[in-house]
Amino acid sequence: MKIEEVVRKFNGKKDIFEIKAKKSNFNSHEAIIEFEYEVNLEEEIKKRFGIEIKELKNLKTKRRVIAFLNNFTKTFEVYRGFDYLCKKIVEIAEELLGQNLFPLKLDGFSLVKIIRKFSIETKQLMFKNIDGFFWKVIRGKSLEKNEIAWKEIFRNVNSLRVISFRPKIRFLKDGTKYQITYNAEKGTLKFSSMEDFRYRPRYEIRQIVFILNYLNSFLNKTLKYEIPERS
């Protein structure tokens, strides 16, 4: 589907959202889509600050969620935590596009590929359903150099579902190398908090999504045997 058609389909009112879509000025294959919705102002203040202001109970305020659709990489990125609003946005996108969307979930071998090729430093590994635990977690500095961590990876690579790492990408700000947690079980990305800015530049996020999409699309079985032997 051409981006112009995507923009035309998404613009307008849908469910609880007022949707505004436009073609990106920086990428001809990408559409920027804003999902605007109303929330109760009193509830928002109570949720954020823990105080109740009854005088505001009938007032509404607007919030928005930004998404990016790329017709080259075939990705739909929702910039929000994995909750009911995120699910509703995905459902609307599926309806408008006329096709199902699936979370970008990689296997354990692909996560090893990230550790080896696309990470400056790995700081957390999470394995699912091993040794009688629902989750087994290994945390530390430079786990990519840790022999114990690698032994666990070799023993349970298929159970490796979550990694936290500092990505090997080009950053807009020198010295800004924050941590990312990729949950391969849910297909979600979480960025560590930063003091110098709140929102991650699109330029940086796009690189990370490209890495995940590359591994999802082009990784073949031969790469699964590239894990180095370690004693």
d(CA 19, CA 17): 6
Task: Give me the residue spans of the domains in the chain.
Answer: 3-97, 108-225
Q: Which pLDDT value is given to residue 107?
A: 94
- Looking at the DSSP bridge assignments, the partners of residue 30 are 70
* Predicted structure pTM score: 0.81
pLDDT in tens, 140-195: 999 999 999 999 999 999 999 999 999 999 888 766 678 899 999 999 999 886 65
Q: Work out the pLDDT band at 56, boundaries 50, 70, 90.
A: low
Exposure letters 33-58 (e unless 16+ CB within 10 A, then b): bebebeeebbeeeeeeeeeeeeebee
What pLDDT score was predicted for residue 89?
95
